[in-house]
Amino acid sequence: MFEIEAERPEHGPAIEALLDLSFGPGRYAKAAQRLREGNTAVPELCYVAFAGEGAERRMVGALSFWPVVIGGVPGLMLGPLAVEPQLRGKGCGIRLMEKGLADAKKLGYRLVILVGDAPYYARVGFGPVPPGRLTMPGPVDPARLLYRELDIGAFGQAKGPIVKARDAASPHPER
């Protein structure tokens, strides 16, 4: 019942409306947002989900992934993920994540983190980061900082701050 497509520029306004509806204005205050500001989502890993037929067809879900360095290991941050309220609980969120994680693995990414509800994300293989192992650029409930390996063993090398990939690459990250 859902069709997943690559995000295109014309989807932008509908995605923003869906994120506002799903998270409210507080979405810009989250620690995860610090890793998105001044960063660019991986274009091949931005998705929208459509539902309905003909004139009823509309965008009902969105997911993006962001390049970060996770305690020294290049990887991705998953999210935001949002599904239109009327169509929640029908598998759209899981399908978006399964597609994105499979594509990320094909692109060679080894490790993914996110901030979210552990019981939900456990369904696609995420587990809790051991306390103190990784730090976000802002306060986060440690129970909500989750990771998933795309390459077995990748997490073993990860320790320290999670930063935007471009900051890790720059000798002068403050600029």
Please report how close the Cβ of residue 169 comes to ligand COA at its closest, in angstroms.
28
- The verdict on 81 binding ligand COA (CB under 6 A) reads yes
- The verdict on 120 binding ligand COA (CB under 6 A) reads yes
- The verdict on 92 binding ligand COA (CB under 6 A) reads yes
Exposure string of 59-83, with b = 16+ CB inside 10 Å and e = fewer, is: bbbbbbbbbbbbbebbbbbbbbbbb
Contact 165, 72 (CB under 8 A): no
Q: What is the DSSP letter of 15?
A: H
Please report how close the Cβ of residue 64 comes to ligand COA at its closest, in angstroms.
12
- The verdict on 24 binding ligand COA (CB under 6 A) reads no
Binding segment for ligand COA among 32-40, 50-58, 84-92, 146-154 (CB under 6 A)? 84-92
Measuring CA to CA, which residue among 115, 109, 113, 114 is closest to residue 74? 109
Q: Which residue has the tokens 């063993």?
A: 153
- The verdict on 2 binding ligand COA (CB under 6 A) reads no
CA-to-CA dists, residue 98 to 125, 173, 174, angstroms: 10, 33, 35
Q: Phi and psi for 124 in degrees, rounded to 5?
A: -115, 30
Position of minimal CB gap to ligand COA: 93
Q: Scanning residues 100 to 119, which ones bind ligand COA (CB under 6 A)?
A: 116-117, 119
- The verdict on 90 binding ligand COA (CB under 6 A) reads yes
Provide the binding-site residues for ligand COA, judged by CB under 6 A: 22-23, 81-83, 88-94, 116-117, 119-120
